[in-house]
Amino acid sequence: MEIGEMLGDSFEYTREGLMGEWKKWILLIICYIIFPLMGGYVVRIYRGARPAPEVDDWVGMFIDGIKLLIIGVVYALPVILVGAVLIGGSVLAFSTGNSAANVAGVGVLLVGMLVVFILAILISLIAVLGMVRFARKDSMGEAFNFSAILEAIGKIGWVEYIVALVVLWIVMVVVQFILGFFMSIPLIGWIIGLFIGPALAIFSARYMTILYESGTPA
């Protein structure tokens, strides 16, 4: 499926799931506030539910959301550890007060930030499909089945896969930027944010589901 079609499908999926479904939307706002619940709802979308699933089985959603959170933390650990070592080392260099050490500290800091940035991007390429795979296989271990994840990306095409993720990122940044403007309005902005948040979560989850399915049998 072309990126334009993926965006269109994700938009329609979100619109059909929320427009006129005010009870569901309000319940999703509650899920958005209690974020593991929103994560659990996203897992349902990852599993290929169509149309957008109803908000029920709160315990099940909460458990799935916690599992998704744990997977995210595990994927983030290498970035956190590398960042702590490299950036922490530069801070120690600064603390000596020695000019030569300060110069070295700046170098280590810049290199550390670059390494952490690149590592975060590389890991995120694997993590996003790993999370969908967890939902599809109902197994946390499958979120780290790197051979299967890399095989799926290979079937999608690395260039196509990265471009698709960049497009999603741009869309989310633009929407967040616009939303940030409204968030500056007291009370009204926060209310708008609470309504838009679940919609963005549904949109991105559907988009990632389509992307996953393009490289892996449902």
Q: What is the DSSP string of 166-189?
A: HHHHHHHHHHHHHHHHHHTSTTHH
Quote the pLDDT of residue 69: 97
d(CA 161, CA 184): 35
pLDDT(77) > 60: yes
Q: Please determine, for residue 217, whether its predicted confidence score (pLDDT) is greater than 80.
A: no
**Cα–Cα distance between 203 and 210 in angstroms, integer?**
11
Task: Report residue 139 as tokens.
Answer: 């197994």
Only one residue has tokens 């059909």, namely 16
Tell me which range, 90-94, 160-164, 180-184, 194-198, is most confidently predicted by mean pLDDT: 160-164
* Model pLDDT for residues 2-41, shown as the tens digit of each residue: 899 999 999 999 999 999 889 999 999 999 999 999 999 9
Exposure class string for 158-195: b at 16+ Cβ within 10 A, else e: eeebeebbeebeebeeeeeeeeeeeeeeeeeeeeebbe
pLDDT at 96: 63
Collapsing DSSP to helix, strand or coil, 5 comes out as helix
* Predicted confidence (pLDDT) at residue 99 exceeds the cutoff of 90: no
Confidence at 118, pLDDT banded by 50, 70, 90: very high
Question: What does the pLDDT read at residue 97?
Answer: 62
In the structure, what pLDDT confidence band is assigned to residue 193 with cuts at 50, 70 and 90? confident
On the question of a cis peptide bond just before residue 186, with omega within 30 degrees of 0, the verdict is: no
The one-character DSSP state at 47 is T
Name the amino acid, one letter, at 166: V
- pLDDT tens digits for 168-191? 999 999 998 888 887 777 788 788
Residues 13 and 202: beta-carbon distance below 8 Å: yes
Angle between helices 35-46 and 99-137 (to 10 degrees): 60
As a whole number, mean pLDDT of residues 30-54 equals 94
Q: How far apart are CA 184 and CA 14, in angstroms?
A: 25
Confidence category of residue 93, pLDDT binned at 50, 70, 90: low
Pairwise pLDDT comparison (175 vs 95), residue with the higher score: 175
DSSP state of 144: G
